[in-house]
Amino acid sequence: MSALYPVALMVEGRRCLVIGGGPVAARKAEGLRACGAEVHVVATSAGAEIRALGVPIEERPYRRGEVAGYWLAIAATGDHAVNRAVFEDGEAAGVWVNGADDPAACSLMLPAVARRGPITVAVSTGGRSPALAAWLRARFESELGPEYEVLAELLNQAREELRAAGHRSEEADWRTALDSDMLDLIRAGQIARAKERLQSCLSSSLG
């Protein structure tokens, strides 16, 4: 398999189809719904987990070609033939398809994701080992304490201030600021000092 080109999809308000009614399908549907997608489920048998999500469910087999009415589809049936049919229909209709645990039935891979506020860390092994991706995700997740959310907000504020002052944010030396003791100051509750440290580093780099 060639190298993957990573992207972050904006699914809010978009129609997404999940084919399958088991625990894996439920996790995929829940992830889409958490990002604002309009999720529709088709499954020959819908389990309790996916029913608990409160998304529209049709208990029936997948119908060839129906992915054409959606922006993205996830095939989590456990049946390679069905997953492959969904993938082929998606290719014909120009719809992205993920075949859960079925790399041959994918036009996109879904990474393991750790979140902290606006921060998203995604880990993929290119379909080679979902277990390794999940293990790495858990390690990153344990490192992402609440201080990182505060850090992200301070950086966002500083970026907006630079733009308002007519500077290009790309010209600022963000790396020096991030390598400073900003994070330790935030952990200690010294937010004002962390902001001062950030402003000092950025001012030095901009002259």
Q: What is the pLDDT of residues 166-192, one digit of tens each?
A: 888 888 889 999 999 999 999 999 999
What is the residue-averaged pLDDT of the chain? Answer: 93
Which CATH code is given to the segment(s) 1-110?
3.40.50.720
Instruction: Compute the distance between CA of residue 110 and CA of residue 74 in angstroms, rounded to an integer.
Output: 10
Taking each continuous run of H as one helix and of E as one strand, the counts in the chain are 8, 7
| Interval 7-20: pLDDT, tens | 999 999 999 999 99
Say whether 171 sits in a helix, a strand or coil.
Answer: helix
Is the pLDDT at 205 greater than 80? The verdict is no
* Contact between residue 85 and residue 68 where contact means Cβ atoms under 8 Å apart: no
**pTM, two decimal places:** 0.81
Q: pLDDT-based confidence at 207, cuts 50/70/90?
A: low
Longest CA span, the chain: 65
